[in-house]
Amino acid sequence: MPLGKSQLAKPLLRRILSALMSSQPLKIYLDGEIVPENEAKISVFDHGLLYGDGVFEGIRIYNGRVFKLTEHLERLYDSARAICLTIPISIAEMEQATLKTVAANGLRDGYIRLVITRGVGSLGLNPYQCPKASVIIIASSIALYPKERYETGLTLITCGTRRPSSAALSPQVKSLNYLNNIMAKIECMQAGCEEGIMLNEQGFVAECTGDNVFIVKRDQVTTPPISSGGLDGITRQTVIALLSEMGITCREAVMTRYDIYTADECFLTGTAAEVIAAVQYDRRPIGDGKPGKLTEKLIAAFKVYANAHGTPVTY
């Protein structure tokens, strides 16, 4: 049945409204209020600024839906609990605040950054001198890698910077102190690469600077266990479930650089990265040096799934 003029106009109208909204200053949620980005300010005495004392989450918006919102919020509150940080609003209130911020910015596709800081305190380390945590929600756009890399694949190196011991801070805590990852990212950029493999103290593969890593070898998919020092990513979990739907079991196993050197395919997963192929590692081609067939199939499956699932935003 042919579409009427009004039906054809709706997608066009949404694109026009989205373009108009994107040219406007962002609206930020800050401690219970939606404010223009130039008014979204925190104190220089906030321990999030002074010491990286706080936690965060990154969440995607697809087709007017917030992807895996419940899972991300549960992880945010778990991270806060792990560092004895009390978030001043409930999960239900945080969900509504997140959806409200997305709607205020008119975003149908984009990225959300939830930030919880310890709050204002003294110049000393004592977190109990910070009476109340601050809640910041940013909804905008993100492009972690150049668009063409999703077609040609990424180049990786081994980072000299290693992941901290899990005995120091659990890798499951998404802390505001990301200096470890930033130092590894600097190595990647100085080497002319977009990403790098980070090893744990024992020299086993943990994760990338911001993504989880998977390999394919003789149709077997493998990823490092979270005990190796990587984050149990929500995109990682989604991809494992999608592989299962394809009839492919993903095993968790301790990995070395050799396993990536000799893999048939390699791909990375993350909220910002989504799913992307890696085609070269330490100047060695992975497989034939092109994105593999399973990786391409998984990228397509993830796009379909992500665009059809999520918590709807009321605009």
Q: Does residue 205 sit within a domain?
A: yes
| Matching residue, tokens 């992880």 | 75
- What CATH number does residue 232 fall under? 3.20.10.10
CB 240 within 8 A of CB 226: no
Same domain, 103 and 164: no
- 2 within domain boundaries: no
pLDDT, tens digit, 9 for 90 and up, residues 101-136: 999 999 999 999 999 999 999 999 999 999 999 999
Residue 161 has pLDDT above 80, yes or no: yes
- Specify whether 263 is located in the same domain as 186: yes
Q: Is residue 2 pLDDT above 50, yes or no?
A: no
112 assigned to some structural domain? yes
The distance of Cα 150 from the centroid of its chain, to the nearest Å, equals 16
pLDDT of residue 13: 53
pLDDT at 193: 95
Domain region containing 194: 149-308
Q: Are residues 177 and 254 in the same domain?
A: yes
Residue 152 has pLDDT above 50, yes or no: yes
Q: Kindly state whether residues 232 and 108 are assigned to the same domain.
A: no
Task: Decide if 4 is inside a domain.
Answer: no
Residue 248 vs residues 41, 215, 218, 243: alpha-carbon distances, Å? 48, 13, 12, 5
List beta partners, residue 136.
30, 115
Give residue-wise pLDDT tens across range 11-36: 555 555 555 555 689 999 999 999 99
Say which of 174, 185, 217, 303 is annotated catalytic.
Answer: 174
Alpha carbons 238 and 120: distance in angstroms, whole number? 37
pLDDT of residue 22: 53
Does residue 313 sit within a domain? no
- In this predicted structure, what is the pLDDT of residue 112? 98
Measure the CA–CA gap between 43 and 119, rounded to whole angstroms.
8
The total domain count for the chain is 2
Q: Are 33 and 84 members of one domain?
A: yes
Q: Looking at the structure, do residues 238 and 109 belong to the same domain, yes or no?
A: no
* Among candidate residues 93, 117, 142, the one where a domain is terminated: 142
- Each residue of 190-228: pLDDT tens digit? 999 999 999 999 999 999 999 999 999 999 999 999 999
**Same domain assignment for residues 232 and 280:** yes
pLDDT exceeds cutoff 70 at 250:
yes
Let me know if 174 is a catalytic residue: yes
Does 163 have pLDDT greater than 60?
yes
Tokens at 292, concatenated: 């593999």
CATH number at residue 77: 3.30.470.10
Q: Are 107 and 210 contained in the same domain?
A: no
Per-residue pLDDT at 143 exceeds 90: no
pLDDT value of residue 3: 45
295 and 164 in a single domain? The answer is yes
Question: Does residue 260 share a domain with residue 207?
Answer: yes
**Res. 147: pLDDT tops 80:** yes
Task: Count the neighbouring beta carbons within 10 Å of the beta carbon of residue 216.
Answer: 22
The answer to the question of residue 187 being in a domain is: yes
CA-to-CA distance for 27 and 41, rounded, in angstroms? 12
Residue 280 placed within a domain: yes
Residue 9 lies in a domain: no
Last residue of a domain, one of 85, 108, 142: 142
Which alpha helices (H) appear in 165-292, and where do they start and end? 179-190, 234-245, 257-261
8 A C-beta contact, residue 279 and residue 290: yes
- Of 142, 164, 188, the position where a domain reaches its end is 142
189 shares a domain with 103: no
pLDDT at 24: 82
| pLDDT tens per residue, range 43-100 | 999 999 999 999 999 999 999 999 999 999 999 999 999 999 999 999 999 999 999 9
- Do 34 and 99 lie in one domain? The reply is yes
pLDDT for the residue 18: 54
